[in-house]
Amino acid sequence: MSFTDTHTHLYLEQFKDDLDTVIENAISSGVNRLFFPAINSNYTDLMLDLKKKYPENIFLMSGLHPCYVSSNYLKEIKHVEKIINSNEIIAVGEIGIDLYWEKKNLDIQIKAFEAQIGIANDHDLPIVIHCRESFDEIYDILIKNEVKNGGIFHCFSGNLDEAKKILDLGMKLGIGGVVTFKNGKIDKFLNQIDISNIVLETDSPYLSPSPLRGKRNESANIKYIAEKLCDIYNLSFQEIADITTENSKNIFGV
């Protein structure tokens, strides 16, 4: 059985004391495809080192997270493309707009997002979108800027109408711990979305699924999300693993 965690930040400080144990635990649990979204240039070297150490299990993205967009964003954008040009990169991400933490710099968040969509198109790569309290802003940008190779709305927590708009754009939904939350709401309508449009993710170390809320998340916890999807779609654990992993291969080409 093979699961894919399409969004995990195992390179962050929360894992500095037991990183290898966490990775090996994920692999032994069947979560043997780990996709690392970038957030900024500070973590590039560690991500590349981990890729060398686990070449069959770790896949890297390059991108500037909207929460790290600042006055030096153009320098960071150049770094994003430099990494793509010199390494095996499977997507541009995570990119997008975040209006939960900061609203005042929306203008440069938009510029950084649009620039990275352009980079993804130039390099025939999909994108992975971070969207927090910014669906309308992101949707408007995607309508104006064609995304040639599709991608994923990471950590989808919206409503059915938003889900359908995402699918109409040729994007897929990244489903994580939110689907297990009592107040998460997406479990109420997710069965109306064909499972061919779903990929699994943990967003480790964040958003631990029930019954682990409040604890550090890790990739092995994909099983709790998969179990919830078994109930939603009336499919077996094996079927969820096979279908969502195949979906990830269709998106990322690996």
Residues pairing with 33 in the sheet: 4
pLDDT surpassing 90 at residue 229: yes
pLDDT surpassing 90 at residue 1: no
pLDDT band at 159 (very low <50, low <70, confident <90, very high): very high
Q: What is the mean pLDDT of the chain?
A: 97
Taking residues 46-56, what's their average pLDDT?
A: 98
Taking residues 152-174, what's their average pLDDT?
A: 97
Q: Does domain 3-252 have CATH number 3.30.230.10?
A: no
Instruction: Please state, as a whole number, how many other Cβ atoms lie within 10 Å of the Cβ of residue 38.
Output: 29
Stronger pLDDT, 18 or 103, i.e. the higher one: 18
Stronger pLDDT, 103 or 247, i.e. the higher one: 247
pTM over 0.95: yes
